[in-house]
Chain A
Amino acid sequence: SQQGEEDPQALSIQEGENATMNCSYKTSINNLQWYRQNSGRGLVHLILIRSNEREKHSGRLRVTLDTSKKSSSLLITASRAADTASYFCATDAPGGNYQLIWGAGTKLIIKP
């Protein structure tokens, strides 16, 4: 079952523009994470935001979390060709077990 659902499924923008992708989830969480996956590679962790945090930054990345709407957004500013990848959100599973629940991802293409 999928807890997180990313929106949009695909996004194509020009280099230098900002990219925003969203993640919605269904149940209460302790934290939400964003990962990047370059084509044919493993996933790489980007940011973890806890349920008591509203915003977090890491370089050109900005993540927001709205627990009342059960949603998060990932903003990539001043996009680069190297940002072309799929982006996934993951939430900790309800019930306190050890699993993360993953969304289907947003495929981001940066056009030069």
Chain B
Amino acid sequence: NAGVTQTPKFRVLKTGQSMTLLCAQDMNHEYMYWYRQDPGMGLRLIHYSVGEGTTAKGEVPDGYNVSRLKKQNFLLGLESAAPSQTSVYFCASNSVPRETQYFGPGTRLLVL
């Protein structure tokens, strides 16, 4: 039982490049979330999903896209990376909305 996993762990991009971050959970959770964490700030929600095939915008969705084609996977895409997207990205999931969330280990992204 791996819980929530994220790949890759670390990535360096040049401005304008694209990439996809993968989140996978093996707990059969309906709800999945993508956050970014910047120094001195709490987590900010980028996008979330309330079930397979659904996505919704969070607090800071601009510059990101997401897809949830399978219940266990939630992908976060950056189409044209910008230095402002340098951050640590966390995926989380849960079975009851607004209650306990289970987090992955994070992806550290540096955009040059």
Report the nearest A residue to B103, measured CB to CB: A42
Check if B103 sits within 8 Å of A103, measured CB to CB: no
Check if A100 sits within 8 Å of B103, measured CB to CB: no
A48 to B102: give the CA distance in the assembly, Å.
13
Interface class of chain B by DSSP: loop
- Which A residues between 16 and 67 are near B, CB-CB below 8 angstroms? 30-31, 33, 40-45, 48
Interface size class of B (residues with CB under 8 A): 20 to 34
Instruction: Choose from B42, B98, B102 the contact partner of A103 (Cβ within 8 Å).
Output: B42
Check if A100 sits within 8 Å of B101, measured CB to CB: yes
Check if A2 sits within 8 Å of B42, measured CB to CB: yes
Instruction: Choose from B97, B102, B103 the contact partner of A98 (Cβ within 8 Å).
Output: B97
Which B residues are in CB contact (< 8 Å) with A40?
106
B27 CB, nearest partner CB in chain A, Å? 13
Report the nearest A residue to B50, measured CB to CB: A98
Check if B98 sits within 8 Å of A31, measured CB to CB: yes
Check if B98 sits within 8 Å of A30, measured CB to CB: yes
Check if A104 sits within 8 Å of B98, measured CB to CB: no
Report the nearest B residue to A43, measured CB to CB: B103
Instruction: Choose from B4, B40, B41, B99 the contact partner of A31 (Cβ within 8 Å).
Output: B99
Residue pairs across A and B with Cβ atoms less than 8 A apart, 7 shown, are A2-B42, A43-B90, A45-B101, A88-B42, A88-B43, A98-B50, A102-B44
Given contact pairs A43-B90, A105-B42, a sample of 13 additional A-B residue pairs in the complex whose CB atoms are under 8 Å apart: A30-B98, A41-B105, A42-B4, A43-B43, A44-B103, A48-B99, A88-B42, A98-B31, A98-B56, A99-B48, A102-B44, A104-B40, A104-B42
